[in-house]
Structure 1
Amino acid sequence: MDISSSPARPARSDTEKAPSKSRHIWQRLYAAVGFSKGYNFILFFIFAGAMMGFVLARLSYLNIGGAASSSFKNGSSPGEWYWYKTGVYRIGITLHLGAILPAGFLMVWQFVPIIRHKAILIHRINGYAIVLLVFIANAGALMICRRSFGGTIETQAGVVTLVFLTTTSICLAFYNIKRLQIDQHRAWMLRAMFYLGTIITLRIIMIISALITSQVSNYYSTMPCDEIASLYDSNAAFSANYPQCNTRNGTVDGRVVVKAKFGSQPEQIGASLGLSFGMAMWLALILHLVGVEIYLALTPREGNRLRQVSYERQMEQGYEHPGSAGITSDHWGDADEWKPVESLK
């Protein structure tokens, strides 16, 4: 065939070149922070961005009982401050907020690849700090769960479950990294961080639920009279709205039924949020439990790559079961024995 007689290939138009150029810019953008896949950068931007935004929006809550409108005292659910202002609950909320907000800020940087690859010492120190802060925050959460958003049974059970899941996941991640089982360290740390992110999804579900229940039907909850009284500046107004509450020896006694509704009365707002909190926690927890497992199932190549790295490092250290020195299904369960890449050739 005469090549010279074949029709000349038309030159690419500017519109055809544009996607290639924009794709190159996009690749340079996520590669600059160490990501090798664009979808990982997008997921990081969404979830890490949500965590960072939530933490920055709540930093003012570190001013636990200040007079400023941005403090936790004035930003918490109506009625909660009555319990948190003194005693063991004040210690608990201080420990929880003082630890979990810094932990949330620091954990974002643990998932930036360039820090893990180029600044390993910073990654390790930051990891130890996060572990310590999360444990302190979990202790504080257990101290206050009896009064958090009404302290219902489902709320207490949800808090205990979340504390158990995060603590267990972090401990397993810590054990695996000490055994140089990097693939399992990645998996368990991702689970721990996803579980901790439940509180963000929880807030969204809780507010939506509170708004819906305020409009579609009549929902009610019970609240202690003394908690409601703390929300009123006038004893006369409180007595007029809740004559069922008894005043004995200068203290308010008993419980009353409060309508759960987003309205002008703060106790109704508090009842609405408290009524939705337990349900929102369990629903958010299920979403995060399933979501992280789906992500791990869809990224087996990264897990396999890290297991190969684990094998090589464990071989250098003389481990008895290189590639399976940590908590792996072939070492602790009945899975087929894992073989390194060089053994499969």
Structure 2
Amino acid sequence: MAEIDRSSANVITRIARKIYHPIGFTKGYNFAFWLVYLGVFLGFTISRLQFLDFYGVFCSATAKSATSHAAPGECFYFLQKPYTIGIVLHLATILPASLLVCIQFIPVIRRKATLLHRVNGYIIIILSVLSMVGVYIIAPRTFGGGFDAQGLLGALSVTFLWALLMSYISIKRRQIEQHRAWMLRAWFWAGSIITGRLIAILVLKVLKSPPYYAMPCDKIDSMLQDRTLDLYPECLSFYSGANPQQNVVVRAEFNHPTSVVEAAAALDAVFGMAYFVAFLLHLFGVEIYLHLTSSETRHSGHVSSSKP
């Protein structure tokens, strides 16, 4: 029985090697890590390509589904200048860059198609820098635009750009291992936006006592229109013109909201915390991945350095 089990395991191992060896991997567990992360990242990117239709999908008048539209209330600002420019610039550059980076991290392309890898890398860096310009434009209004949200987006953007810069410097110095490590860090950190969404939803699902969140009346009006005063009579001063900047306290209820405003408040309230935790997880996670794939890195560096 033991011999049969070993024989079956050997067959599975041989089949697996026929899959990951041509891609450029020498270790099965390295391929597994790569496949899971790249699969999630690619799937998320493809699902967001519909957002390139900014007015028809991302900020359409009516949402076709919860995943085919911006978060509740976000388009109130995104449809105003300069935020329209910022979000369109961000989407139009980060989504193509995210697709191209999936090609960039295929080992066999890095080793066998050096010119493609190099040109693709420059395109990715240019698109990424432009996308961060868009982030800086929309940061003051994204998910409430609080200090937590702005600080988080600023930190993510700076670290992402720093990693890209270090990867560029490393390749110019022919430091192949460092170049790969910094590029992986940049995109692992960028991937925290996916994990952040999951953490935010998880926290809101298990939260037994919803918090309260201050929200401006003009944003509430964009979602409720003539129902605003019925639910938030404090907004009367906004409508009368006595206080155009009037804010009201909104119950941040995600699971059983009485209106879309409560769902929007819930997402705004947990944004900073959820994405900060996600960033920390990715910050440490990529270092673990780099340690586990160090043999792949050395092999890649040897192959690349041996080329004229």
Which residue pairs with 2:119 in the alignment? Answer: 125
- Percent identity of the aligned residues? 38
TM-fit CA distance, 1:56: 1.1
User: Match of 2:210, SS?
Assistant: coil
Which residue pairs with 2:49 in the alignment? Answer: 59
Alpha carbons of 1:18 and 1:268: their partners in 2 closer, same or farther (altered >3 Å)? same
TM-fit CA distance, 1:244: 0.6
TM, length-normalised to structure 1: 0.81
Which residue pairs with 1:199 in the alignment? Answer: 193
Structure 2 residue 214 is matched with structure 1 residue 219: no
User: Match of 1:106, SS?
Assistant: helix
Number of aligned residues: 300
TM, length-normalised to structure 2: 0.90
Structure 2 residue 157 is matched with structure 1 residue 163: yes
Residue type of the partner of 1:131? I
TM-fit CA distance, 1:304: 4.4
Structure 2 residue 86 is matched with structure 1 residue 92: yes
Q: Could you give the per-residue CA deviations for residues 218-276 of structure 1, whole angstroms, max 9, x where no partner exists?
A: 3000000010011024x1x2111111112125996510000000224111000000001
Q: Could you give the per-residue CA deviations for residues 148-207 of structure 1, whole angstroms, max 9, x where no partner exists?
A: 111110110111111111101111111111111101101111111111111111111111
User: Match of 2:233, SS?
Assistant: coil
Residue type of the partner of 2:270? S
TM-fit CA distance, 1:118: 1.9
Residue type of the partner of 1:158? L
Which residue pairs with 1:22 in the alignment? Answer: 12
Query: Alignment partner for residue 43 of structure 1, among 29, 33, 44?
Result: 33
Which residue pairs with 1:257 in the alignment? Answer: 249
Query: Alignment partner for residue 139 of structure 2, among 111, 125, 145?
Result: 145
Query: Alignment partner for residue 287 of structure 1, among 278, 281, 288?
Result: 281
User: Match of 1:218, SS?
Assistant: coil
Taking only aligned residues, the RMSD between alpha carbons, in angstroms, comes to 2.4
CA contact (8 A) 2:139 2:153 kept: yes
Unaligned runs of 5+ in 1: 1-10, 317-345
CA contact (8 A) 1:52 1:104 kept: yes
Alpha carbons of 1:87 and 1:198: their partners in 2 closer, same or farther (altered >3 Å)? same
Which residue pairs with 1:329 in the alignment? Answer: none
Alpha carbons of 1:58 and 1:251: their partners in 2 closer, same or farther (altered >3 Å)? farther
TM-fit CA distance, 1:295: 2.2
CA contact (8 A) 1:96 1:136 kept: yes
Unaligned runs of 5+ in 2: none
Residue type of the partner of 1:254? Q
Greater per-residue helix proportion: 2
Q: Distance in 1 between matches of 2:89 and 2:294?
A: 38
Q: Distance in 2 between matches of 1:198 and 1:135?
A: 18
Which residue pairs with 2:220 in the alignment? Answer: 228
CA contact (8 A) 2:86 2:133 kept: yes
Alpha carbons of 1:309 and 1:117: their partners in 2 closer, same or farther (altered >3 Å)? closer
Residue type of the partner of 1:117? R
Structure 2 residue 91 is matched with structure 1 residue 101: no
Residue type of the partner of 1:125? V
Alpha carbons of 1:72 and 1:218: their partners in 2 closer, same or farther (altered >3 Å)? closer
User: Match of 2:214, SS?
Assistant: strand
CA contact (8 A) 1:62 1:72 kept: no
Highest CA radius of gyration, 1 or 2? Answer: 1
